A = this chain, B = another copy of it.
Amino acid sequence: MMFDVVVEVRLRAGIADPQGATIERALPALGFDGVTGVSVGKSIRFSLQAADESAAHAVVTDLCHRFLTNPVIEDSEISLHPAEVAAH
């Protein structure tokens, strides 16, 4: 069966995030106040063919560790649900 997968890759706490810091510094000049703690990560979406949900989860976890993240500086969060079958 098919699964829709979203992997969010974020920098670990304490790792410098210059992209987020730049956004945060720029916002007051553009008239946006009250925005703090900006962090920028990646979101990777794909479809996965797997036997069941636990098999899919195992594959995605492995993929994250080996390929999609740098585990020294990045964390990943997986969300996964069965693909909706098109109505027609």
Residues of chain A having any CB pair with chain B under 8 Å:
8, 10, 20, 23-24, 26-27, 30, 32-50, 59, 62-63, 66-68
Contacts and interface: CB of A to CB of B under 8 A. Distances in A.
A43 B42 contact: yes
Contacts of A35: 46-49, 63
A68 B23 CA distance: 9
Contact of A46 (B24, B30, B43, B63): B24
Given A32-B63, A35-B63, 13 more contacts: A27-B63, A27-B67, A30-B66, A34-B48, A35-B46, A37-B45, A37-B46, A37-B47, A38-B46, A39-B44, A42-B42, A42-B43, A43-B43
